[in-house]
Amino acid sequence: MDANGKKLLNELMELSFVAVELNLFLDTHPDSKDALEDYNRISERYMLLKDKYEKTYGPLVNFGYSSSQYPWQWSQSPWPWEIEY
């Protein structure tokens, strides 16, 4: 995987962690508009980057949550532990 792919993956991991944090905060503070706004903004950016990543480097999730180009990419792209950041 090239440097651009790693950069995208890193940013995806960061965004998904922020999403987890905001998710947990919102679980106990469902009325917080500011937190919800941030959550939605982060989710949107996450989905955008995920699409961008998957178009070039293959699906991040399987079992129907992402499509694949030909040939089938899931088992061909590197596993998470094979990527050296």
Partner 1 sequence: MRFNINPRTPSAPKPVPKNKRETKQEKTVEIKVPQKYEKPVNITLEEKVEDNTVQGKVNDKHQIPPGYGPGVPTHPIKPMPEYPYDSKPDQLAEAYVLWQKYGGKMYTPKEALEKGTLFPELYRPYSPERHK
Which residues bind to partner 1, rule: CB under 8 A?
10-11, 13-15, 17-18, 21-22, 25, 28-29, 32, 34-35
Residue placing its CB nearer to partner 1 in the complex, 49 or 68: 49
- Comparing CA positions, the residue from 31, 29, 49 lying closest to residue 41 is 49
Q: How far is the CB of 35 from partner 1 (least distance, A)?
A: 5
DSSP 28-61: H-TT-HHHHHHHHHHHHHHHHHHHHHHHHH--SS
Q: How far is the CB of 29 from partner 1 (least distance, A)?
A: 7
